[in-house]
Structure 1
Amino acid sequence: MGSAQAGDIHHILLSEEEIAAKLDELALRIDADYAGKDLLLVGVLKGAVMVMADLSRRIEHQGVEMDWMAVSSYGSGTKSSGVVRILKDLDADLSGRHVLIVEDIIDSGLTLSWLISNLRSRGPASVEVAAMLRKPDAAKVEVDVRYVGFDIPNEFVVGYGLDYAEKYRTLPFVGTLAPHVYES
């Protein structure tokens, strides 16, 4: 785990196997819903890297393309500020395309809500969201999410793309962080 310690993980919330099974299920639904449509997956860096890679490989839709955005709204803390800056914009033109935003986690929904509005203003045929994780208790705005992997408690989680101070992203599972890590 790099400079992270084995004792840093308090509890495994979702195992590698549970995540894989959910990705299979989501990919089947996406294939059915977007059959014959021009589908563009938009990943949100950095957290969505794992779910984007694993989900896209399961989607059998032949015309699927990928693009990436990087937005900043967190600063250095664990609470979203709601202020969004685009650090890396899309390369693709969205006109007339079906866009599926791929997210690792939705908590406040503030950044995602902003992102949906921004992408819808670019003339796509549709904009939907697929998120591996959602924290219903953390929501500050209502966001319509078409594909949700798991609803989880409002706890600080790491792994499968999710980080704390840029560590733990590469863990194959999702776990809660032991309090000593972020309270020190």
Structure 2
Amino acid sequence: MASYLQIPDDEKGHDLDLFCVPRHYENDLDKVIIPHGFIMDRTERLARDIIQDMGGHHIVALCVLKGGYKFFADLLDYIKVLNHNSDKSVPLTVDFIRIKSYCNDKSTNSVKVIGGDELSNLSGKNVLIVEDIVETGRTMQALLSLLSKCNPKMIKVVPDAFLVGYALDHNEYFRDLSVSVGKSHSY
């Protein structure tokens, strides 16, 4: 059984007319790739998998802002429900960090980490990183290098694909969509 959902690169998606999409985005979007209900169901299952994989030991959930915030909040809600309704629960703490590697829509050659002053508290803990988009991997490599200096017990990364909506953006647009959509190439 697969532990992930694979969406083919040539996924046809769903017609925008089938969903509530703000009118000011209609000309910028091609299709809905992942409907909101599907996202929520998959997020609930990921929470269960995370508890099973990382449970039994303190988890520090680290959100990479801005794009990771919506998925992060929903994921933590499901983890909290599992913690409250299970015979076995796990301590969970939350932290936030920003990483800059883009100027407008262009990738720069430098990675700047903002925040994370309390990352020294990660020693011996399981760290769950919720990132928005892993494109070149340079940003994630910089973050993993920084975190490894803190001697965590385990580090796991939860990436999203390159989509917009559900808090994922393109130049700060589309974060307010509740679905993940394929973006037109009009920018």
Name the TM-score, length of structure 2 as normaliser.
Answer: 0.77
Distance 1:82-1:25 versus aligned 2 partners, 3 A rule: farther
What secondary structure sits across from 2:182 in the alignment?
strand
In structure 1, what is the equivalent of residue 10 of structure 2? none
Q: State the Cα deviation string for residues 69-113 of structure 1 (Å, max 9, x = none).
A: 111101112x43341111222434111111111112212111011
In structure 2, what is the equivalent of residue 159 of structure 1? 165
CA-based RMSD of the aligned residues comes to 1.9
In structure 2, what is the equivalent of residue 25 of structure 1? 45
1:134 aligns with 2:161: yes
Q: Which runs of 5+ in 2 are unaligned?
A: 1-20, 84-89
1:53 aligns with 2:80: no
Q: Does the CA contact (< 8 Å) of 1:69 and 1:90 recur in 2?
A: no
1:172 aligns with 2:170: no
In structure 2, what is the equivalent of residue 122 of structure 1? 150
Distance 1:3-1:122 versus aligned 2 partners, 3 A rule: farther
1:42 aligns with 2:62: yes
Q: Which runs of 5+ in 1 are unaligned?
A: 136-156
Aligned-partner residue type, residue 26 of structure 1: L
C-alpha separation in 1, matches of 2:150 and 2:23: 42
| Structure 1 residue 170, shift from structure 2 partner | 1.5
Choose 1 or 2 for highest CA Rg.
2
Q: Does the CA contact (< 8 Å) of 2:113 and 2:143 recur in 1?
A: no
Q: State the Cα deviation string for residues 40-69 of structure 1 (Å, max 9, x = none).
A: 000001010001000011112441111001
What secondary structure sits across from 1:43 in the alignment?
strand
In structure 2, what is the equivalent of residue 145 of structure 1? none
Which stretch of the first structure deviates more once superposed, 49-58 or 107-116?
Answer: 107-116
Which of these residues, 15, 35, 42, is aligned with residue 35 of structure 2? Answer: 15
Q: Does the CA contact (< 8 Å) of 1:49 and 1:161 recur in 2?
A: yes
* Number of residues of Structure 1 aligned to a counterpart in Structure 2: 158
Distance 1:105-1:69 versus aligned 2 partners, 3 A rule: same
Q: Does the CA contact (< 8 Å) of 1:39 and 1:97 recur in 2?
A: yes
| Structure 1 residue 172, shift from structure 2 partner | 0.7
What secondary structure sits across from 2:47 in the alignment?
helix
In structure 2, what is the equivalent of residue 81 of structure 1? 108
C-alpha separation in 2, matches of 1:15 and 1:108: 26
